Amino acid sequence: MAHKITDECINCGACETECPSNAISESDEKRIINQDACTDCGNCVTICPVEAILVP
């Protein structure tokens, strides 16, 4: 199961640049994770400044 970005996301883009599988993209006012592309590496979790990414 892939990680999820919550509504706490401030849309800073830090997670998108850290994703090795390019699973994160911008959507409206926050980033989203493509569930099929996410490899659960955890890079996004460690870089998020507001802890807006949930670990499965």
Question: Which CATH number goes with the domain that contains 22?
Answer: 3.30.70.20
Q: How far is CA 5 from the centre of its chain?
A: 5
Q: Given this model, what pLDDT does residue 7 score?
A: 95
Please tell me whether the overall predicted TM-score, pTM, comes out greater than 0.75 for this model.
yes
Q: Is the pLDDT at 34 greater than 90, yes or no?
A: yes
Q: Is the pLDDT at 46 greater than 90, yes or no?
A: yes
Q: Is the pLDDT at 2 greater than 90, yes or no?
A: no
Instruction: Give the percent of the chain with pLDDT over 70.
Output: 100
Task: Report DSSP letters for the chain, one per residue.
Answer: ---EE-TT-----HHHHH-TT--EEEETTEEEE-TTT-----HHHHH-TT--EE--
Q: What is the count of structural domains for the chain?
A: 1
Q: Given this model, what pLDDT does residue 28 score?
A: 86
Domain span including residue 24: 4-54
